[in-house]
A and B are shown apart, each in its own frame.
Chain A
Amino acid sequence: MKYALYLGCTVQTEQYGYEASVRTTMPRLGVELVDMTGVSCCGFPPFSSVSELAWLYSSARNMAIAEGMGLPIFALCNGCHLSFVETKHKLEHSPELKAKMNEKLAREGLRYEGKAELIHIFELLHDVVGKDKITAAVSNPLEGLRFAAHPGCHAIRPSRIGRPDDPENPKKLDDLITWLGAEAADYPEKIDCCGSSLAAASGKTVLDIAGEKLKAVKRRGFDGLVTTCPFCFKVYDNKQRAIQATVGDRELEVPVFYYTQLLGLAIGVDQESLGLDLNQSPIDPVLEKIGGK
């Protein structure tokens, strides 16, 4: 199990908790991660609204690097993963476009064949590593905790070009949570969007949308929200204070985790190396419940 690790802008430049928890947990499950050198932004979203060509070029470029390494790309971010899958899909269906890309890639001495394989963290943990390995690795089961899974829009849509889980009834993140000894439950707002892409147009609406979901999660008696998407995490965790202000509810406190952080806690990784101190949401009560190192 060897993969080319693609961080993407958001993780690499600010969501260190996600990166750290991935780097510390994966090897313990027998997943070898190789850093990609010379990579750049996947192009989504910065280019998708400006120039389709620039967007596709950016993704093709990074996939070309992975092809050079001969490894499948493990993209941490839902957005990056979708961007790669979509680009691969588009170039597969347009030889002309592919040729045009390669012409441009040549300037950096790169070439995109279309062989690059992609893997999403759900697929890697749920389908490749699997239940047996994960449950076996759990030394500190997260019993008595009930988490709301938030797979994130881009992990499940658009299903037509292939996403890692069901677009209307995603279950993999729930499974992953239960494998850690915690409880996961369906809730009507599960596949609701965090709203983050609206930031440029209307920051307040983002907080509204995110706030509604956090309220639901709290109302339905969850101990916290779990995701693997840096964009969603940014809104729900980093911006939770702002959300409280916007929805006018100071009590709206919902602990938010990256799944890999919980995974780390369950398999006995120390909190420091999971970057848990970077979570801005009030996670300490949950950490106390979990105990461990």
Chain B
Amino acid sequence: MKPVLVIGGGIAGIQASLDLADRGTKVHLVERTPSIGGVMAQLDKTFPTMDCSICILAPKMIECYRHPNITIHTQSEVIGLEGNVGDFRIKVLEHPRSVDATKCTGCALCSEKCPVKKPSAFQVGLGQRKAIYLAFPQAVPLIATIDREACLWFTKGVCRTCEKVCTSKAVDYEQKENIVDLNVSSVIVATGFEQYDPKDIGEYGYGRYKNVLTALEFERLVCASGPTGGVLNRPSDGKVSHNIAFIQCVGSRTQTSGYSYCSASCCMYATKEAVLIKEHEPSSHVTIFYMDLKTFGKGFQGFVDRARSHWGVEYIRGRPGEIREDPVTKNLTILYENTEVGRVERLDADLVVLCTAAIPHRDNAKLATVLGIGQDEYGFFANPDPVASPVETDRPGIYSCGSCHGPRDIPESVAEASATAAKAAEDAARAEGVA
């Protein structure tokens, strides 16, 4: 039986890979970053059960890594696809890590000694990493990688400190990129989404005001493994924040941003983040500005009711018009209308969190061309018939799951991932001649 190609190592890609591998199908899992895990690895807790995100994800990541039927290609991208369902010929480009995966033990001594600091993508820029680094402590595979744009050896021809300190001689500056040819029966696309950059919504001052963050940045701030160790030290002055406000529908449900749809999970993750703040410091004052509370998922309404009644999170229906920053204290003032009473008011906050639209990943167009599949008007991968064939793209044998074809929460992504595994299994059976 031919293997299956899974593109994207987030929770959806991981689930699809494990389902197939567990039933005995060989899987090639292609991930563009140095580690699998995706956005879920960056989250602190998950709603509505408040499970520690990395704690429930890490075992699955490791399972992928240790599974005899799964081959993980990190820092890799699919650059070629030919053939048809049952017989796709794939080209995967593996970018060099500049570190020998077979030797590196992930001890991180190299990054400790590396002199170059860069903003850490895992910490969404709130924290720093070195030029040679591990994506994050639970990264899978736990292998260092060199950022050649930052590394002094690659940019200035000096340093080589990492090579000197590495006890297992794993550093390999000569490592070349590598093209792998695969022959697979089906392809599963699980490349996920990215966050809308709220800079364009100037009235909220993101990028201008240090204490206005995006929700993903906040996840890192509130996370024990984040840059502040889970203490809500706000960026401007490190002061612990007690008055925090969340603004929903930033970029989403917005004609002018180009993303006129509802991003589906923001109301709930904002509620979760609000509860986290209260758990950390019950005396904090947390406000969520929303338009419609989207509590359509299993257990959502109960979760919101609890946040309101038990934790005292305040919900106000109204999308603020403007955020102002005190030039001296850097405190923020939110101009808003409580639309349920038609009154215009002001709220002072130490920190404001913007819950931004979930938007198509910037690489979608490129991948769509390589795979020969369609995108919708926004750039998500298109499902021609989302009702009858929710995980089928417009090309037979290529399936999509998770937030790469529209906003999804984790359980939806997981369920869809299993669905794509079933479709791939059907293709394989057909190829095997099962009538």
The answer to whether A and B interact is yes
Report whether B326 and A188 are in contact in the complex, using a CB–CB cutoff of 8 Å. Answer: yes
Report whether A167 and B327 are in contact in the complex, using a CB–CB cutoff of 8 Å. Answer: no
Report whether B327 and A220 are in contact in the complex, using a CB–CB cutoff of 8 Å. Answer: yes
Q: Is A166 an interface residue (CB 8 A)?
A: yes
Chain A residue, CB-CB nearest to B326: A188
Report whether A169 and B202 are in contact in the complex, using a CB–CB cutoff of 8 Å. Answer: yes
Contacts of B202 in A (CB 8 A): 166-169
Cβ contact of B327, chosen from A166, A169, A187, cutoff 8 A: A187
Q: Is B208 an interface residue (CB 8 A)?
A: yes
Interface size on B, residues (CB 8 A): 9
Chain B residue, CB-CB nearest to A190: B324
1/0 per position for B309-328, CB-CB distance to A under 8 A?
Answer: 00000000000000011110
Q: Is A185 an interface residue (CB 8 A)?
A: yes
Chain B residue, CB-CB nearest to A169: B202
Chain A stretch 165-216: residues in CB contact (< 8 A) with chain B? 166-169, 185-188
Residue of A166, A167, A188 with most partner-chain B CB within 10 A: A188
Contacts of A220 in B (CB 8 A): 327
* CA distance in complex: A186, B328 (Å): 11
Report whether A186 and B203 are in contact in the complex, using a CB–CB cutoff of 8 Å. Answer: no
Report whether B208 and A169 are in contact in the complex, using a CB–CB cutoff of 8 Å. Answer: yes
Given the known interface contacts A166-B202, A167-B202, the answer about A188 and B208 at a Cβ–Cβ threshold of 8 Å is no
* CA distance in complex: A220, B324 (Å): 14
Report whether A188 and B325 are in contact in the complex, using a CB–CB cutoff of 8 Å. Answer: yes
Looking at the assembled complex, report how far the CB atom of B204 sits from the nearest CB atom of chain A, in whole angstroms: 9
Chain A residue, CB-CB nearest to B200: A168
Contacts of B326 in A (CB 8 A): 188
Report whether A185 and B203 are in contact in the complex, using a CB–CB cutoff of 8 Å. Answer: no
Chain A residue, CB-CB nearest to B328: A220
Chain B stretch 164-208: residues in CB contact (< 8 A) with chain A? 202-203, 205, 208
Interface size on A, residues (CB 8 A): 9
* CA distance in complex: A128, B303 (Å): 58
Chain A residue, CB-CB nearest to B332: A188
Q: Is B71 an interface residue (CB 8 A)?
A: no
Q: Is B120 an interface residue (CB 8 A)?
A: no
Chain B residue, CB-CB nearest to A160: B256
Looking at the assembled complex, report how far the CB atom of A44 sits from the nearest CB atom of chain B, in whole angstroms: 24
Chain A stretch 6-29: residues in CB contact (< 8 A) with chain B? none
Looking at the assembled complex, report how far the CB atom of B361 sits from the nearest CB atom of chain A, in whole angstroms: 28
Q: Is B333 an interface residue (CB 8 A)?
A: yes
Chain A residue, CB-CB nearest to B203: A168
Looking at the assembled complex, report how far the CB atom of A193 sits from the nearest CB atom of chain B, in whole angstroms: 13
* CA distance in complex: A43, B359 (Å): 43
Contacts of A188 in B (CB 8 A): 324-327, 333
* CA distance in complex: A186, B202 (Å): 14
Chain A residue, CB-CB nearest to B204: A168
Looking at the assembled complex, report how far the CB atom of B36 sits from the nearest CB atom of chain A, in whole angstroms: 39
Contacts of B205 in A (CB 8 A): 168-169
Contacts of B203 in A (CB 8 A): 168
Looking at the assembled complex, report how far the CB atom of B254 sits from the nearest CB atom of chain A, in whole angstroms: 14
* CA distance in complex: A169, B325 (Å): 12
Chain B residue, CB-CB nearest to A166: B202
1/0 per position for A241-269, CB-CB distance to B under 8 A?
Answer: 00000000000000000000000000000
Cβ contact of A185, chosen from B324, B325, B327, cutoff 8 A: B327
Chain A stretch 117-172: residues in CB contact (< 8 A) with chain B? 166-169
Chain A residue, CB-CB nearest to B335: A188
* CA distance in complex: A166, B207 (Å): 15
* CA distance in complex: A220, B333 (Å): 16
Contacts of A187 in B (CB 8 A): 327
Chain A residue, CB-CB nearest to B322: A168
Contacts of B324 in A (CB 8 A): 188
* CA distance in complex: A185, B327 (Å): 9
Contacts of B333 in A (CB 8 A): 188
Chain A stretch 89-103: residues in CB contact (< 8 A) with chain B? none
Residue of B202, B203, B333 with most partner-chain A CB within 10 A: B202
* CA distance in complex: A171, B325 (Å): 16
* CA distance in complex: A135, B205 (Å): 30
Looking at the assembled complex, report how far the CB atom of B258 sits from the nearest CB atom of chain A, in whole angstroms: 14
Chain B residue, CB-CB nearest to A187: B327
Looking at the assembled complex, report how far the CB atom of B25 sits from the nearest CB atom of chain A, in whole angstroms: 53
Looking at the assembled complex, report how far the CB atom of A219 sits from the nearest CB atom of chain B, in whole angstroms: 11
* CA distance in complex: A169, B327 (Å): 14
Looking at the assembled complex, report how far the CB atom of B255 sits from the nearest CB atom of chain A, in whole angstroms: 12
* CA distance in complex: A12, B326 (Å): 39
Contacts of A169 in B (CB 8 A): 202, 205, 208
* CA distance in complex: A166, B205 (Å): 12
Contacts of A167 in B (CB 8 A): 202
Chain A stretch 69-116: residues in CB contact (< 8 A) with chain B? none
Looking at the assembled complex, report how far the CB atom of A276 sits from the nearest CB atom of chain B, in whole angstroms: 29
Looking at the assembled complex, report how far the CB atom of A18 sits from the nearest CB atom of chain B, in whole angstroms: 29
Looking at the assembled complex, report how far the CB atom of B50 sits from the nearest CB atom of chain A, in whole angstroms: 37
Looking at the assembled complex, report how far the CB atom of B335 sits from the nearest CB atom of chain A, in whole angstroms: 10
Looking at the assembled complex, report how far the CB atom of A186 sits from the nearest CB atom of chain B, in whole angstroms: 6
* CA distance in complex: A220, B325 (Å): 13
Chain B stretch 193-228: residues in CB contact (< 8 A) with chain A? 202-203, 205, 208
Contacts of A185 in B (CB 8 A): 327
Looking at the assembled complex, report how far the CB atom of A289 sits from the nearest CB atom of chain B, in whole angstroms: 23
Contacts of B327 in A (CB 8 A): 185-188, 220
* CA distance in complex: A186, B326 (Å): 10
* CA distance in complex: A188, B331 (Å): 11
**17 interchain pairs, CB-CB under 8 A:** A166-B202, A167-B202, A168-B202, A168-B203, A168-B205, A169-B202, A169-B205, A169-B208, A185-B327, A186-B327, A187-B327, A188-B324, A188-B325, A188-B326, A188-B327, A188-B333, A220-B327
- B residues within 8 Å of A by Cβ? 202-203, 205, 208, 324-327, 333
A-B pairs with lowest CB-CB distance, top 5: A168-B202, A188-B324, A168-B203, A169-B202, A186-B327
- A residues within 8 Å of B by Cβ? 166-169, 185-188, 220
- Beyond A169-B202, A169-B208, 5 additional pairs, beta carbon < 8 A: A168-B202, A169-B205, A185-B327, A188-B327, A220-B327
